[in-house]
A and B are shown apart, each in its own frame.
With several copies, the nearest count.
Chain A
Amino acid sequence: MSKVRKLEDAVAAIPDGAVLMIGGFMGVGTPPRLIDELIRQNKRGLTVIANDTARPTVGIGKLVAGRHVARVIASHIGTNPETQRQMIAGETEVELVPQGTLAERVRAGGFGLGGILTPTGVGTVVADGKRTVELDGRTFLLETPLKADFALILAKRADYYGNLEYALTARNFNPLMAMAAETVIVEAEDIVPVGMIPPDHVVTPNVLVDVLVAKEARHG
């Protein structure tokens, strides 16, 4: 019944070419062991949906630098020259999405919406090829849901059932992505007995979580 798996087994279930949502914002809130294990198992051709690609030596940046990624959907790649280089060279496909729109598209995928209407991006290059909708004299872009095969999530605490708590700005996209993927793999700093996280403090309910991996004790 336990959802706790060995790191190796949890990541082995992810095939080459899989679509991954990965939590984090400039590496903060990105599950480090899961990233390192994707690299160790040398996954190829991944699609990564994430806020950014951090730096070449940090978080998702390592996946890009190691050429594990074929496609990125993100709001920002400015801190990772390697992502920019691969994009300009045509080696990696990059779709840039405004951050708030990215959050809503991931949420729409998890919440069963067919899409959302937003003023963000109207009249800019972001609108290219997208449908617009006029409502009460205003123009909105129709933005469509994003879903993934796997979500890789970093939690501060998990209980054995998989109820999750996050810490401060390491929360960011994690709870949204935990709703929007077929299989949800969580790396948790602490795994505690059921009942230790009060219902009101649970941010991601256990039924969404498929696999728990413990984060090793941190050095220092």
Chain B
Amino acid sequence: MDEKTLIAKRVALELRDARLVNLGIGLPTLVARHLPAGTNVFFQSENGIIGMEPVPEEGLENADLSDAGGSPIGAVPGAASFDSAVSFGLIRGGHLDVTVLGGLQVDEEGRLANWMVPGRMVPGMGGAMDLVSGAKRVIVAMQHSAKGESKIVKRCTLPLTSVRRVDLVVTDLAVLEPTDAGLVLKETAPGVSVAQVLAATGCELIVPATVPAMPIDA
């Protein structure tokens, strides 16, 4: 299993009791493919729909039905569409159970940077700041490192997405939970040792006496 699939599968386990979930563009989108049996969530697309699903087959694309990236989607029976204020009212008003977002950096205090690299990448924050500030539960799904540098850092050097502490960070090496005391190492990826995680991490981690492996079949 590749690293992205591993991350997606692990994140999917967090959606068991969720009713409304928003998946960011990119890696987070993979999560929808790996929901455990019995999961019964609605996926929101922040451009204005609850109940998005992939286009069921080629040729069924509809010009008025797209995801937040502008790509064609389908909709489940019982879907609902609405304007951008309602869409973000759902997000900002605490009606969104879980948001899964990609990340550039997460720091020791559990704060996320994921929207800008000054001077190099200026995409705009889109809905990311609203999602992190407003969702009931924020899960960051990302690679542990990029270009040999850890994305788990002592303090974010990139502009923050929000000062709100995220709830869980799932990487290809570990599951980390931000707490008042710092980042707690909750799980390691199958075949990865605690020492390997620590070596790949740019800040201190709190390591409990036992750290289970992710409950994912390899």
Contacts and interface: CB of A to CB of B under 8 A. Distances in A.
B64 A111 contact: no
Interface stretch (A4-12, A20-28, A34-42): A20-28
Contacts of A45: none
Contacts of A205: 50, 80, 82, 90
Interface in A90-111: 94, 96, 98-104, 106-107, 109-111
A118 B83 contact: no
Q: Is the interface of B mostly helix, strand, loop or mixed?
A: loop
A213 B90 CA distance: 24
A132 interface: no
B56 interface: no
Interface stretch (B123-131, B174-182, B187-195, B209-217): B123-131
B164 to A, nearest CB: 8
Interface in A171-199: 171-176, 179-180, 194-195, 199
A169 B130 contact: no
A184 to B, nearest CB: 10
A125 interface: yes
A202 B81 contact: yes
B124 A78 contact: yes
A199 B47 contact: no
A1 to B, nearest CB: 7
A111 B124 contact: no
Interface string A113-142: 100001111111110000000000000000
A54 B71 CA distance: 12
Nearest to B44: A207
A100 B95 contact: no
Contact of B66 (A26, A119, A122, A200): A26
Contact of A172 (B84, B129, B133): B84
Interface string B121-156: 111111111100110000000000000000000000
A124 B90 CA distance: 22
A104 B127 CA distance: 13
Contacts of B48: 25, 168-169, 171-172
Interface size class of A (residues with CB under 8 A): 35 or more
Given A124-B129, A124-B159, A206 B84 contact: no
Contacts of B126: 52, 75-76, 78, 98-99
Contacts of A96: 122, 124-125
A123 B95 contact: no
Contacts of A125: 116, 159
A161 interface: yes
Counting chain A CB atoms within 10 Å of each CB, the highest count among B91, B93, B124, B161 belongs to B124
B79 interface: yes
A46 B177 CA distance: 40
Given A25-B70, A100-B130, A173-B84, A156 B64 contact: yes
Given A123-B162, A199-B49, A75 B122 contact: no
Contacts of B90: 179, 205, 207
B70 A54 contact: yes
A104 B122 contact: no
Interface of A: 1, 25-29, 51-52, 54-55, 58, 74-79, 84, 87-88, 94, 96, 98-104, 106-107, 109-113, 118-126, 156, 159-161, 163, 166-176, 179-180, 194-195, 199-200, 202-203, 205-208
Interface of B: 19-20, 40, 42, 45-51, 62-70, 75, 77-85, 87-95, 116, 119, 121-130, 133-134, 159-164
The 7 closest A-B pairs by CB, nearest first: A78-B123, A26-B70, A100-B88, A112-B92, A123-B163, A100-B130, A111-B89
